[in-house]
Homo-oligomer: A and B are copies of this chain.
Amino acid sequence: MVLSKACTYGILATLYVAKENKEFVPIRELSDELHISFHFLTKILQQLTAQGLLISLKGPKGGVKLAKDPATITYYDVIRAIDGDEVFTECVLGLPGCGHEAPCPIHEFWSPTRDLLKTTFVSQSLEESAYQINELKLRLSLGHWNLEEE
């Protein structure tokens, strides 16, 4: 698995918030719509709040919102806040100190692939995805299509 579940949940939630484009979305709404455990999602979003990607508000009318313009937040930002950037920097075989000077047997081939992996997430902003979600009516929910309520 490239991304942890916590990380994919974090991405789905920030995408939802980006597409809604309103003040403070309650986590309960996110967990209901995306079919993610409320308490688990709460913990994940607290991380994103602590990292400065989200702003939260307690009480009625509370919830979370993006801390910045969604055009300036990339998938990479969210991934790094939850999973760290090890997946984009570490040796795929786990050899300590693997690099150009002391490469593992596939370093030379893995390195460009790893770079593309990073570029893929760096070059996509939440706004671009939010636009596509709205335009193309893309779903974000983890629920299976034929179990979706209308």
* Contact among B106, B109, B124 with A106 in the assembled complex (CB-CB below 8 Å): B124
* Inter-chain contact A140/B87, CB cutoff 8 Å: no
Q: Which residues of B contact A97 (CB under 8 A)?
A: 144-145
Complex formed: what's the CA distance from A106 to B11 in Å? Answer: 11
List A11-46 residues whose CB lies under 8 Å from chain B: 11-12, 15
A96 and B2 contacting across the interface, CB-CB below 8 Å: no
Q: In chain A, residues 113-130, which have Cβ atoms closer than 8 Å to a Cβ of chain B? A: 113, 116-117, 120, 123-124, 129-130
Interface locus among A47-55, A59-67, A131-139: A131-139
B139 A94 Cβ-Cβ under 8 A: no
Contact: A106 with B129, CB < 8 Å?
Answer: yes
**Is A8 interfacial (CB 8 A cutoff)?**
yes
A95 interface hit (Cβ, 8 Å):
yes
Q: If A129-B106, A138-B104 touch, does A86 touch B15 (CB 8 Å cutoff)? A: no
Complex interface: chain B residues within 8 A of A103 (CB): 138
Pick the residue among B5, B96, B106, B130 that contacts A94 (CB under 8 A): B5
Check if A142 is an interface residue, CB within 8 A of chain B.
Answer: yes
Contact present for B142 and A94 (CB under 8 Å): yes
Instruction: Name the 10 nearest CB pairs between A and B, nearest first.
Output: A105-B129, A113-B120, A8-B94, A8-B93, A96-B144, A113-B116, A105-B138, A105-B133, A109-B120, A105-B132
